[in-house]
Amino acid sequence: MSLEAAINLSIPELLRVLSEKLGQECTRVREIPLPPVLASIATLEVEVSNYTFGQSLSKATVTVSNGQPFQIESLEARVQDVLKLIPSLRNLLQPVNRLLPETLSRIARLTVNEDAIDTGSIVPLTHVCRYWRESIVSTPGNWTLVSSERFGLAGLSMERCLAVPLELGWTCPRSERIQGSLL
Amino acid sequence: MSQVRENPGFSAMITPHTQNIGTLRIDCISIEELAQTFPDFPRSMPNLRSFSFSPSLRLNHDLSTDPFEAFTPALTHLSLEFLPLYPSLLCLRMLTDLTIRNGPFFDIHLDTFLDFLEGNRALERANLDIRLKLPFLQNLRGRDPFTNRLKTLSISSNAAGASALISRIALQRGATLEVSCDGGAKLSDILSVASGVAHLPNLREATFMEYHPDHRTFRLVGPNGTFSFSLANGRGNPFSEFHLLHLTHVRAFHFVRREVVRNPAENPDRPSPNEFLPSSFPALETLAIEREIHTPILFAAIFSNPPTPPSLKIIAFLDCQLDDGFLEALTQYASNRKNTTSAPLHHVVIVNSKGDLPRFASIGALGRHVPVVDVRIGEKLPTDLI
């Protein structure tokens, strides 16, 4: 089912389709911890299963089994939020994202060659998707290589590397080195 | 200089992390700046395992005072440039990697330095670019070569310093010894000392030799070790001293010019080619030549005595000048060789990156005496040959 078609469904139908679809796909990636988006869908599903649709739909309200009124607009907004997260979810289900966070971090560290002065080569990997970003950023060992030549990245790295021993490169500015070599 | 030149924000940023620094590489920063940024260095870095320092030095800088307090004994990697081996460093005993690039500042007695190397029993790689002056070589107490765990020992020095070091460091089997000499040194200068090169016994079984005449460098490789030697000052020619080495098991020789030079007058420093002396390589099976224009000179001794080298089966050329006259001489050599007890020439490879290949008729004539003549356009020789 396309996203456009899904948006035209009624909320209960949409939630039923979503939960079925996501439920099936999620069983394929049991190894991956339940991400926030799935958790919120699961919560939503529980809430909706508790609704009893009364005759007051024209007032845009439904009666919840425990007697609390619930605004359809609010529910709709939350579904829209969930829909926006579908691309992230789709990324998560890609085979490459079944890699464990430790493996992703290991790969990230391999991008730093022997002559590298800092972890600049890792940064683009954190822009690929949320899962990669969380996996790579949350591994302190990825951020131990720090250089005075890139002040901004140095600060970020020191923040992320926590208590892992630092590899610090400290050099004078390039302009001074060039000047020194000419003298 | 009393003020830290580097972005002061960087100093402020790293100060809270001082205790957490495991590797510290400092380049072009003065000793004063180091002390100012990291007070109580190196004691303030209990986790320091690797220290590399290439300071900026003023001409009148006093290097006689040890600027460091005691290093953590767990330091495993040390790299110093233009700094003496201060007493604070001589106490280290856990080094696995040592690099010293000292130039004229290496004013330590050789005995003390050898004690330091011997004391670091876990040392696996040592890269020593040092010049030992006569006073520090004199009165050297008689000491046998010490055994160690070094996998790679690189020495760049004057001949006296290099020979003093390599005669007293007995590398283990499989280790690599790299020697670069300057000051008009010759291979014989370092091989002629009484105790010789302590690693040479490991090289008796060497099976492969590579020679780069333009870099005046050769590399001898065998199952028990590697030895490379180069003359750094652009003079001399190690080729003429190959007879000093034990080459009886060398099965492949690779002669590599850096580039094709049509007119030698354009590059007067380029060493002139020598005759390849087959008598030095009795077990030679493969001879590969790259970018040589004087191939007739190189092959003169071989062509004049077809039975030698007795086991030669493969000759390969990459971007060499092979005119009709040379091809004819090679064909004659292959033909004559069939009438000797030596192994017949089995394989000739001719590769040229620009398609400058011999004439078809010359190749055909060669093919009548050599079973495989492989002629192709390419940038490299087949890897299985070398």
Are the beta carbons of B213 and B162 closer than 8 angstroms? Answer: no
Minimum-distance CB partner of B47 among A154, A158, A165: A165
Closest chain A C-alpha to B25 CA, distance in angstroms = 5
Q: Which residues of A touch B14 (CB under 8 A)?
A: 146, 154, 158, 168, 170
In a domain, B347, yes or no: yes
Q: Which residues of B touch A181 (CB under 8 A)?
A: none
Tell which of A112, A168, A177 to mutate to test the B interface (max B CBs under 10 Å): A168
In a domain, B331, yes or no: yes
Is residue B234 predicted with pLDDT exceeding 80? no
Question: Are A88 and A128 within one domain?
Answer: no
Question: Are A62 and A110 within one domain?
Answer: no
Cα–Cα nearest to B181, from B212, B151, B160: B160
* Residue B236 confidence (pLDDT): 67
Helix (H, G, I), strand (E, B) or coil at A10: coil
Does ipTM surpass 0.85 in this model? no
- B236's tokens: 């001399």
Closest chain A C-alpha to B170 CA, distance in angstroms = 30
Minimum-distance CB partner of B14 among A168, A171, A177: A168
Q: Is the Cβ pair A170, B7 closer than 8 Å? A: no
Closest chain B C-alpha to A159 CA, distance in angstroms = 10
Is residue B268 predicted with pLDDT exceeding 90? no
H or E, element range at B182: strand B175-182
Question: Are A88 and A41 within one domain?
Answer: yes
Q: Is the Cβ pair A168, B25 closer than 8 Å? A: yes
Instruction: Give percent of chain B with pLDDT exceeding 70.
Output: 88
Are the beta carbons of B60 and B34 closer than 8 angstroms? Answer: no
Is residue B296 predicted with pLDDT exceeding 70? yes
* Residue B192 confidence (pLDDT): 64
* Residue B186 confidence (pLDDT): 79
Question: Are A88 and A10 within one domain?
Answer: yes
User: What residues in chain A have their Cβ under 8 A from chain B's Cβ atoms?
Assistant: 144, 146, 148, 151, 154-155, 158, 163-173, 176-177, 180
Mean pLDDT across B131-152: 78
Q: Is B236 left (phi over 0), alpha (psi -120 to 50) or beta?
A: left
Q: Find residues 343-372 of chain B whose CB sits inside 8 Å of chain A.
A: none
Tell which of B20, B53, B82 to mutate to test the A interface (max A CBs under 10 Å): B20
What's the pLDDT band for B107 if we cut at 50, 70, 90? confident
Q: Is B47 on the interface with A (CB under 8 A)?
A: yes
Q: Is the Cβ pair A146, B14 closer than 8 Å? A: yes
H or E, element range at A26: helix A11-28
Question: Are A162 and A123 within one domain?
Answer: yes
Question: Are A106 and A88 within one domain?
Answer: no
Q: Is the Cβ pair A166, B9 closer than 8 Å? A: no
In a domain, B76, yes or no: no
Minimum CA–CA partner of B24 in chain A = A168
Query: In degrees to the nearest 10, what's the CA dihedral of B189, B195, B197, B200?
Result: 130
* Residue B182 confidence (pLDDT): 80
End-to-end, the C-alpha distance of chain B in Å comes to 55
Are the beta carbons of B383 and B349 closer than 8 angstroms? Answer: no
Instruction: Give percent of chain A with pLDDT exceeding 70.
Output: 55
Is residue B373 predicted with pLDDT exceeding 90? yes
Mean pLDDT across B244-271: 79
CA gap B324, B365 in Å, rounded: 11
Q: Which residues of B touch A171 (CB under 8 A)?
A: 26-29
Q: Phi/psi of residue B51, each to 5°?
A: -130, 125
CA gap B213, B220 in Å, rounded: 14
pLDDT in tens, A8-61: 666 556 656 666 665 555 444 444 444 555 556 556 656 655 554 444 444 444
pTM for this predicted structure: 0.77
In a domain, B321, yes or no: yes
In a domain, B310, yes or no: yes
Cα–Cα nearest to A119, from A136, A134, A104, A131: A136
pLDDT in tens, A111-140: 999 889 999 999 999 998 888 999 999 999
H or E, element range at B37: helix B31-37
- Count the domains in chain B: 1
Cα–Cα nearest to B222, from B236, B201, B195, B194: B201
Mean pLDDT across B78-88: 89
Q: Is the Cβ pair A170, B21 closer than 8 Å? A: no
Q: Is the Cβ pair A151, B9 closer than 8 Å? A: yes
CA gap B145, B91 in Å, rounded: 21
Q: What is the domain extent for residue A45?
A: 3-95
Q: Which residue has the higher pLDDT, B131 or B270?
A: B131
Q: Is B17 on the interface with A (CB under 8 A)?
A: yes
Q: Is the Cβ pair B23, A165 closer than 8 Å? A: yes
In a domain, B233, yes or no: no
Q: Which residues lie below 8 Å from residue B283, measured CB to CB, with a gap of 6+?
A: B248, B249, B250, B251, B309, B311
Q: Is the Cβ pair B26, A176 closer than 8 Å? A: no
What's the pLDDT band for B240 if we cut at 50, 70, 90? confident
Q: Which residues of B touch A169 (CB under 8 A)?
A: 25-27
pLDDT in tens, B150-175: 999 999 988 888 888 888 888 989 99
Burial tier of B289 (Cβ tally within 10 Å: 0-12, 13-18, 19+): buried
Q: Which residues of A touch B13 (CB under 8 A)?
A: 151, 154-155, 158
Among A75, A95, A115, identify where a domain stops. Answer: A95
- Count the domains in chain A: 2
End-to-end, the C-alpha distance of chain A in Å comes to 71
Question: Are A121 and A65 within one domain?
Answer: no
- B103's tokens: 């130039």
* Residue B258 confidence (pLDDT): 86
Q: Is B89 left (phi over 0), alpha (psi -120 to 50) or beta?
A: alpha
Distances (CA, A) of B175 to B147, B178, B222: 12, 10, 10
* Residue A60 confidence (pLDDT): 42
In a domain, B142, yes or no: no
Q: Is B9 on the interface with A (CB under 8 A)?
A: yes
CA gap B66, B84 in Å, rounded: 9
Q: Is B103 left (phi over 0), alpha (psi -120 to 50) or beta?
A: left
Q: Is the Cβ pair B56, A171 closer than 8 Å? A: no
Question: Are A84 and A128 within one domain?
Answer: no
Domain containing residue B372: CATH number: 3.80.10
Mean pLDDT across B68-74: 84
Q: Which residues lie below 8 Å from residue A124, measured CB to CB, with a gap of 6+?
A: none
Cα–Cα nearest to A170, from B11, B283, B290: B11
Question: Are A76 and A116 within one domain?
Answer: no
Q: Which residues of A touch B55 (CB under 8 A)?
A: none
Q: Which residues of B touch A183 (CB under 8 A)?
A: none
In a domain, B382, yes or no: yes
Q: What is the domain extent for residue B330?
A: 251-386
Q: Which residues of B touch A143 (CB under 8 A)?
A: none
Q: Is B22 on the interface with A (CB under 8 A)?
A: yes
Residue-averaged pLDDT of chain B: 86
* Residue B185 confidence (pLDDT): 76
Q: Which residues lie below 8 Å from residue B377, measured CB to CB, with a gap of 6+?
A: B351, B352, B353, B354, B355, B357
Q: Is the Cβ pair B6, A172 closer than 8 Å? A: yes
pLDDT in tens, A38-53: 556 556 656 655 554 4
CA gap B173, B202 in Å, rounded: 6
CA gap B30, B382 in Å, rounded: 50
Question: Are A33 and A110 within one domain?
Answer: no
**Sequence-ordered alpha helix ranges (H) in A29-66:** 36-49
Question: Are A79 and A27 within one domain?
Answer: yes
